[in-house]
């Protein structure tokens, strides 16, 4: 079946997706500051797993068809890796805040581009390498590794970006033999199992008010994933992906207005370089296609 390519609708859905995910990050930041990160992510993944199982049951073949894969080890590793990345990123929110964490995390498309050559055998030309270099300079400007007051915690969102980049590459790898529905199913189910094994030991009672925040976190997670699926269904990924950077803008607004965060000059300059390099990379990929 030929995919539609309604770019205006796709862009609108991507903007909505980034806003919902930014709200989700704000809720995660609040809850992780009050409760154990592993418990928060575990509950979030329970709803995520319920979501993917519900989708699988409604499609032809049901759960058995969605779970069918010739590469279960890689699929399971993808799911566990993403769950671990979520934990690392939420920890970064509580330590560094939304603004700085997202500023560094936006480098993940550049890491995917850099690693796609040695890991997947994709061609990476000099223009893309130049963009990767510019983005890396932006990361260094944000981290300020040469400053005497350098905080090693600033590397946490960079670790999350690297983990997410590897997850993205593994997603490309398994897509050679598995459908997106299968990958989505394995992501939710294996991530939920991994987080249950890790987080159940850190269970602690929550205030009634925070259960409302937790419910909102789960709803935004499901809504964000649904919007993202619809976005890629109606438009080409190369046309809408650049608008994913709006999550940095929305997260910054939430961080500044609700959590009282500030935007340091080096963070603004570094984030601008990373975003510009990422947009150039997306543009080059679209030209090649």
What are the pLDDT digits (tens) for 175-206? 888 888 898 899 999 999 999 999 999 999 99
Dig out the tokens for 274 from the structure: 């990373």
The reported pLDDT for the residue numbered 149 is 45
Query: Which of residues 116 and 88 earns the better pLDDT score?
Result: 88
The reported pLDDT for the residue numbered 150 is 53
Under the banding of pLDDT at 50, 70 and 90, the label for residue 211 is: very high
* Token pair 């419910």 in the structure block, residue: 215
Alpha helices in the chain (DSSP H): 7-34, 37-58, 62-67, 72-96, 98-105, 108-120, 126-143, 156-174, 180-199, 208-234, 237-240, 246-257, 265-288
Predicted confidence (pLDDT) at residue 233 exceeds the cutoff of 80 = no
Give the SS3 label for residue 259.
coil
Instruction: Indicate the DSSP class of residue 146.
Output: T
Give the integer Cα–Cα distance in Å for 148 and 159.
21
Give the integer Cα–Cα distance in Å for 28 and 41.
8
Mean pLDDT of the chain: 86
The reported pLDDT for the residue numbered 202 is 96
For the CA atoms of 230, 236, 238, 244, what is the dihedral angle to 10 degrees? -20
Specify whether the CB–CB gap between 278 and 109 falls below 8 A: yes
Burial class (CB in 10 A: 0-12, 13-18, 19+), 90: buried
The reported pLDDT for the residue numbered 190 is 96
Q: How confident is the model over 32-61, as pLDDT tens digits?
A: 999 999 999 999 999 999 999 998 998 888
- What is the end-to-end Cα distance of the chain in Å, rounded? 20
């Amino acid at each position: 079946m030929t995919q539609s390519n309604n770019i205006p609708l796709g862009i609108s859905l991507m903007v909505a997706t980034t806003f919902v995910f930014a709200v989700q990050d704000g809720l995660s930041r609040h809850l992780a500051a009050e409760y154990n990160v592993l418990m928060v992510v575990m509950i979030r993944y329970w709803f995520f797993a319920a979501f993917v199982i519900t989708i699988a049951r409604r499609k032809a073949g049901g759960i058995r068809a969605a779970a069918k894969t010739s590469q279960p080890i890689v699929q399971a590793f993808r799911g566990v890796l993403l769950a671990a990345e979520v934990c690392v990123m939420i920890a970064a929110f509580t330590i560094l805040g939304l603004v700085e964490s997202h500023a560094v995390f936006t480098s993940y498309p550049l890491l995917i581009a850099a690693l796609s050559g040695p890991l997947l055998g994709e061609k990476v030309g000099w223009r893309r390498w130049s963009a990767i270099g510019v983005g890396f300079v932006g990361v260094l400007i944000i981290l300020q590794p040469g400053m005497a007051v350098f905080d090693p915690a600033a590397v946490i969102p960079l670790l999350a970006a690297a983990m997410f980049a590897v997850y993205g590459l593994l997603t490309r790898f398994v897509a050679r033999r598995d459908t997106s529905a299968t990958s989505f199913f394995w992501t939710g189910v294996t991530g939920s199992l991994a987080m249950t094994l890790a987080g159940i030991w850190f269970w602690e009672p929550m205030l009634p008010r925070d259960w409302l925040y937790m419910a909102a976190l789960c709803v935004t997670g499901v809504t964000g994933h649904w919007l993202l699926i619809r976005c890629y269904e109606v438009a080409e990924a190369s046309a809408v992906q650049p608008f994913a950077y709006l999550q940095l803008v929305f997260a910054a607004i939430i961080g500044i207005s609700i959590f009282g965060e500030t935007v340091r000059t080096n963070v603004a300059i570094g984030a601008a370089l990373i975003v510009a390099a990422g947009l150039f990379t997306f543009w080059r990929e679209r030209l090649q296609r």
